[in-house]
Amino acid sequence: MPANNDSFLKTIIVAVALCLVCSILVSGTAVSLKETQKSNAVLDKKKNILMAANLLTEGADLKELFGKVEQKFVDLETGAFVEIENPEAFNQRQRAKDPNLSVAIEEDIAKIRRRSKIASVYLVRDGDKVEKIILPIHGSGLFSTLYGFVALESDKQTVVGLKFYEHGETPGLGGEVDNPMWLAKWPGKQLLDEKGNTVLTLVKTSASNNREVDALSGATWTTSGVENMLTYWLGEQGFGPFLSRLDVTKGEA
C-alpha cells in the first residue's frame, strides 16, 4: 500500500510539473507573439503611409524609404506643432478614449464621437520645404470604422494618394476601398479649395472633373463614410487649422 501511495504521489508531482512547464511555455509564446504582432502592425502602418504618399516601390527597403518621412505632432485646436513625451508610444486611437486627452465632437459627421486633442502627421521634405503631407483619417462606414491616410501635395489642396489599412466593410462592396483600381482614381484630384473648404465629392456617375471621384458601386453607406471622414478631418475640427498654419516653404506650423 505505501508503495502504491508513493507511485500515486510521484504521478501527481510529475503532472503538476508538466502543467507548470506547459503554462510557462504558453505564456512565453503568447508574449513573444504579441510583440511580433505589434512589430508587424507598426511595419504595416509605415507601409500604408508610404503607399498613400506614393513612395513605396517594389523591392525597396521599407526602413530606408520611411527615413524620408518625418513624424510630427499637432495640437488640433491651434494647428501648431507640439512636443510630446515618449513619441514612440503615441497612440491616437487610445487617447481618443481618454476624456482628459480628447474632446467630444459636436458636429460628428464622421461618427467617431471623440477625437484626440493631439494628432500625428507625416511630412516628406526636400530640405526645409515640405513636398507631401500625410494625414491620418478615420470614420464610420456601414459595418465598421475605417482607418487610413490621405496624402496631399505641398499646395495643401491636391491629393497624392489615399490608403485604408483597417476596416470591416463587406468584400466586393464597401470593401472595394482596398481596390487598387479605385484608389488609382484619387491622385491629382482637388480635395480642398484655396480657403480650405472640402470640394471633392464622390459621384454615382462617372467622374467628369478633378473635383469628383467615382463612388463605390453598391456601397452607398461606405461611400458616404469616406466622403464624411474627409470632410471632417480636413475641416476646422480636424486638420484645417494645421493646414492653414503650415508654412510649406519652411516646414513650420
Cβ atoms of 212 and 203 within 8 Å: the answer is yes
Residues with Cβ within 8 Å of 155's Cβ and at least 6 positions away in sequence, in order, are: none
Residue 138 three-state SS: strand
**Rounded distance, CA 49 to CA 248, Å?**
19
**Rounded distance, CA 13 to CA 244, Å?**
70
Cβ atoms of 188 and 158 within 8 Å: the answer is yes
Cβ atoms of 193 and 156 within 8 Å: the answer is no
Q: What's residue 3's pLDDT?
A: 53
Q: What's residue 116's pLDDT?
A: 98
Cβ atoms of 117 and 94 within 8 Å: the answer is no
Cβ atoms of 122 and 108 within 8 Å: the answer is no
pTM of the model: 0.85
User: Quick count: other Cβ atoms within 10 Å of Cβ 113?
Assistant: 12
**From residue 114, how far is each of 41, 100, 104, 110, 232 by CA, in Å?**
23, 11, 4, 10, 12
Q: What's residue 63's pLDDT?
A: 85
**Rounded distance, CA 243 to CA 157, Å?**
9
CA angle 208, 211, 216 (to 5 degrees): 75
Counting as low any pLDDT under 70, the low residues of the chain are 1-6, 8, 27-35, 37
**Rounded distance, CA 204 to CA 208, Å?**
11
**From residue 39, how far is each of 32, 36, 65, 160, 193 by CA, in Å?**
11, 5, 17, 27, 38
Cβ atoms of 149 and 44 within 8 Å: the answer is no
